[in-house]
Amino acid sequence: MKPSATDRRLASPRPGVRVDIDVAHINRDALRVITGLHRAGFQAYLVGGGVRDLLLGLSPKDFDIATDAHPEDVRRQFDNSRVIGRRFRIVHVYFSQGYVEVATFRAAGRAHVNKQGRILADNTYGTIEEDAFRRDFTINALYYDPEAGQVLDLVSGQQDLDAKLLRVIGDPELRFREDPVRMLRAVRLATKLGFRIEDQAQATICRLGYLLGEVPPARLFDEMLKLFHGGHAVQTFQALRNYGLFEHLFPLTEQALGDASQETFSALVHGALENTDERIRAGKPVIASFLYAVFLWGPMRALTRQLELDGLSSKVAQDAAMKDTILSQLRFTAIPKRLGFQIRNVWELQNRFYRKRGKQAYRLYQHPRFRAAYDFLCLRAGAGDPVDKLCEWWTEFQDVDEATQKKMARSSRTRAGKTPHRPSRKTYH
């Protein structure tokens, strides 16, 4: 029989281990929610990445709360809250600074796995023990009670934190089959934290990468953003390739990277990843379409070349290649429509940079994607594409006053250097 709310409220608090966490580093709203739930007689803990990061002395991105209170109980405690989610309901408690996410302890719905062992539904409430065991890694299953200043560790997570070890809870093969995205999470977290993935999990990832092919592309799109916009894109990219996971996210890119005739592509990818990390470190914004434009540039150029050899004109070939490349990638990671347009814009503007005479230069300068396309152009120059003069010209154009800009545009030839559609052999041909 299910315990009633009163039974759950009477459940005795479990003993934890005192830890040294400065409460000042914890989001005030999250603390308010925990205190409120405690007052109402429920268990409530901070859990997940927030606790992990606090214990490592990092500043957490988000604070998740786990409780034995059911969503309706939580909803009743806080006026400013809303139950969301259909399959698994959680509560968002709103504050002026945003919202805090509160989830009821739940058990992994073992009854609902598919032939490959993937979880299709997990919507059963459970005990705190079950809640801990359904989580992915031991270091992500620590429960912190800020009022008691204690951590409840049911999976020896603290020990792994100390040893800088990323350990899967339970059997890695089983857990990666349940949810293949955990393999990406393992690589992302190990890279971010500088942890080692335990040996058995490493070997399993190398074997099971292909299971990513079954994950809905929309979910892989979300993961791709976390992988490459977390400030460690260069290392994450290398680790993903070492584990053979990248080829299941971006198979066209992987193929182009191995193509000897595309010698500058690999340098372009590395340059763009470095640039992304630098921007994030400097607190500058990054757009998702930029890395897509980079990753798919090699494949798009190769296909353009092939279509040209088949007899299509340069313009028609590139148009077809752009469309086809984006469509092919959609089968692996989703690309929201808006992003698809941005990617195409960045690519198209690469040709327009050559047309800088008179008004054309201004029109291009006003284009909403000018900045991204210009960054892309200069990364290409840095990677060895023969567009360095063009990059210099546009850099200067942005630096000088309007009168000088006019002079530059007047004296400019229609096209600087090589024609855009037939670059030298040094590029992607």
Binding-site partner at residue 179 among ligand ATP, Mg ion, none, CB < 5 to 8 Å by type: ligand ATP
Listing DSSP states for 60-89 in one string gives: PS--EEEESS-HHHHHHH-TTEEEE-SSS-
Q: Which of residues 63-122 bind ligand ATP (CB under 6 A)?
A: 64
- Binding of ligand ATP by 337 (CB under 6 A): no
Stretch that binds ligand ATP, among 33-41, 84-92, 176-184, 252-260 (CB under 6 A): 176-184
How far is it, in rounded angstroms, from Cα 95 to Cα 245?
Answer: 39
State the number of binding residues for Mg ion (CB under 5 A): 2
Selected from 16, 36, 41, 49, the binder of Mg ion by CB under 5 A is: 49
Structure tokens of 396? Answer: 């200067």
Q: How far is the CB of 49 from Mg ion (least distance, A)?
A: 3
Task: Using DSSP, state whether 94 is helix, strand or coil.
Answer: strand
**In this structure, how many other beta carbons lie within 10 angstroms of the beta carbon of residue 246?**
23
Residue 178 or 375: which CB sits closer to ligand ATP? Answer: 178
- Binding of Mg ion by 62 (CB under 5 A): yes
Q: How far is the CB of 169 from ligand ATP (least distance, A)?
A: 8
Structure tokens of 237? Answer: 């990219």
Stretch that binds ligand ATP, among 70-78, 87-95, 146-154, 178-186 (CB under 6 A): 178-186
Residue 179 or 385: which CB sits closer to Mg ion? Answer: 179
Nearest CA among 177, 366, 378, 195 for reference residue 186: 195
| Number of residue whose CB is nearest ligand ATP | 49
Burial of 50 (0-12, 13-18, 19+ CB in 10 A): buried
- Binding of ligand ATP by 182 (CB under 6 A): yes
**In this structure, how many other beta carbons lie within 10 angstroms of the beta carbon of residue 330?**
13
Selected from 62, 171, 278, 396, the binder of ligand ATP by CB under 6 A is: 62
> Any catalytic annotation for residue 277?
no
How far is it, in rounded angstroms, from Cα 74 to Cα 273?
Answer: 42
What's the per-residue H, E or C state across 192-209? HHCCEECHHHHHHHHHHH
> Any catalytic annotation for residue 136?
yes
φ/ψ of 64, rounded to 5, equals: -100, 145
- Binding of Mg ion by 56 (CB under 5 A): no
How far is it, in rounded angstroms, from Cα 243 to Cα 241?
Answer: 5
Residues 6+ apart with CB under 8 A from 394: 353, 356, 374, 377
* Angle subtended by helix axes 263-281 and 370-383, to nearest 10: 130
> Any catalytic annotation for residue 388?
no
* List 73, 131, 136, 179, catalytic entry: 136
Q: How far is the CB of 185 from ligand ATP (least distance, A)?
A: 6
Selected from 122, 136, 247, 277, the binder of ligand ATP by CB under 6 A is: 136
Residue 230 or 271: which CB sits closer to Mg ion? Answer: 230
Q: Which of residues 35-54 bind ligand ATP (CB under 6 A)?
A: 48-49
Give contact residues for ligand ATP (rule: CB under 6 A).
48-49, 61-62, 64, 135-136, 140-141, 179, 181-182, 185, 226
Give contact residues for Mg ion (rule: CB under 5 A).
49, 62
Q: Which residues are catalytic?
A: 62, 64, 136
